[in-house]
Amino acid sequence: MLPVFVKALVKKVLFYAKRSWIILFNYYSIKKIYHNRFCNRRIGLLHNQVLRPLAVTAEQHLRTCEVHNLHPKRDVVLISNSQPCNNQLQKMVEREISVIRDDTLFKIIETGGQRFLKNKGLYTEGIFQNGVIYNSHGKTHIAFNEDEISYGNSLLKKLGVEEGQRFVLVHNKDNLYWQSREEDKPWDLYRNSPFEDLLPSVDFLKKQGLAVIRSGYYQDFPDAPYISLNNCTREEVDFLDIFLQKYCLFSICGDSGIAWIPYLFKTPTLIYNFIPMGESPPVEKGIFLPKLLKRKGELLTIKEMLQIHTTIAYPEGSYFFIRKISSDRFQNSNLYRSFEIDIIDNAPEEIFQAVKEMIHYVEGRLSVTKEEELLQTHFKESFPVGHPMRHQIGLVSPNFLRKNQILLG
């Protein structure tokens, strides 16, 4: 009888042998498929199973077409899965760039075929400059048509938002959506925060005469102090998740997939509980509030965050790569625990002050003193060249930064 460790070794060898065979098979399969179906067109993958990669990969490909003078309908074709996480966003992307929904072809390219296309220079990817997705003209690439705008306005009226009334979106990150799909993600808890932390801000916004609409997947409070989407149909929510992010005065988002939607439309955004700073959504227009990190009871400076390292294996298609990362890029609750790092959520008062700053920001009245400008510069230049935080266009909440200068060391 074989020892247990030998059985485990044999099992692992067989797994990788099978995987290697699939990769090799798909490498040559895509060669034949490409010449039969896509001659002279560049191919990319549109990851559409979750909101963040759908928004990000769509924007990457559209910006790449712009930079390389590629016609998005003639020169490029994106392959996606057949069932997207959001039908409205997928439909809008498909109006701008050629997309084929094909689960089998997507899997072939992702598992081996991608390597062939890259080797031949036929694979289209996003262009990154200084750690962020490059945008040469700062413009938006997808838009609602007149029928969709009319439909969206009718849904707003149904929600009780009158024509011309300004509204703000609020959202918090939790695991309720994944739990509803029986896909609980305990490793992702580091990004979560309770909606109760937003209540002072919601009350303030309503006193300013603004309608407040809650987005995302949630269970309502008794006597909810916001406009809920939970009485809408699934199709209406699918549409509103995108439409409202375009036409709101500004969006208040926890650090989750939905925070990437206002980025597509250049909608002013406040992202609170921003974590990790090296992997969070870009804020091209607005304000962000990072979570603080503590180790052994002491707040970590940016310099100290960058000095805490570990090595991880991360997947890219059918391959795994070894990558050395610092704690400003940790994307797993277990990593924080292993380094005895405590994560400190933004306090309700910090969020409230940032919301007041956002109102001034969108109205063009946000006054930043010379001292505050220096703090903004010091904060961003604490990160190395090429780090997305160093080149973040948005502002750290001036109030937050004044009170947490310890971050700067």
263 vs 87, more confident = 87
362 vs 107, more confident = 362
Q: What mean pLDDT comes out for the span 251-268?
A: 91
Instruction: Let me know: does 122 contact 30? Beta carbons within 8 Å.
Output: no
Instruction: For the chain, state the CA radius of gyration.
Output: 23
114 vs 305, more confident = 305
Q: What mean pLDDT comes out for the span 377-398?
A: 92
Highest mean pLDDT among 102-116, 215-229, 312-326, 367-381: 367-381
Q: What mean pLDDT comes out for the span 263-287?
A: 91
- Give the model's pLDDT for residue 44: 87
Q: Compute the distance between CA of residue 166 and CA of residue 397 in angstroms, rounded to an integer.
A: 23
- Give the model's pLDDT for residue 69: 87
Q: Compute the distance between CA of residue 311 and CA of residue 205 in angstroms, rounded to an integer.
A: 44
Give percent of the chain above pLDDT 70. Answer: 85
- Give the model's pLDDT for residue 19: 59
3-state secondary structure of 123: strand
pLDDT beyond 60 at 128: no
3-state secondary structure of 296: coil
- Give the model's pLDDT for residue 5: 55
Q: What mean pLDDT comes out for the span 234-247?
A: 96
- Give the model's pLDDT for residue 349: 98
Q: What is the pLDDT of residues 350-381, one digit of tens each?
A: 999 999 999 999 999 999 999 999 999 999 99
Lowest mean pLDDT among 8-17, 104-113, 114-123, 243-252: 8-17
Q: Compute the distance between CA of residue 117 and CA of residue 207 in angstroms, rounded to an integer.
A: 56
Bridge partners, 319 (sequence order): 316
Q: What mean pLDDT comes out for the span 16-45?
A: 72
- Give the model's pLDDT for residue 198: 96
- Give the model's pLDDT for residue 340: 96
Provide the pLDDT confidence category of residue 279 given band limits of 50, 70 and 90.
confident
Q: Compute the distance between CA of residue 43 and CA of residue 12 in angstroms, rounded to an integer.
A: 33
Q: 88-115: string of b/e by CB count within 10 Å (b at 16+)? A: bbbbbbbebbbbbbeeebbbbbbbbbbb
144 vs 173, more confident = 144
Instruction: Let me know: does 361 contact 399? Beta carbons within 8 Å.
Output: no
Bridge partners, 325 (sequence order): 310
Provide the pLDDT confidence category of residue 305 given band limits of 50, 70 and 90.
very high
Looking at residue 297, its amino acid is G
- Give the model's pLDDT for residue 227: 96
- Give the model's pLDDT for residue 131: 47
Averaged pLDDT score across all residues of the chain: 86
Q: What mean pLDDT comes out for the span 232-260?
A: 94
Within 10 angstroms of residue 363's Cβ, the number of other Cβ atoms is 9
Within 10 angstroms of residue 362's Cβ, the number of other Cβ atoms is 18
Q: Compute the distance between CA of residue 144 and CA of residue 243 in angstroms, rounded to an integer.
A: 8
386 vs 232, more confident = 232
pLDDT beyond 70 at 308: yes
- Give the model's pLDDT for residue 223: 86
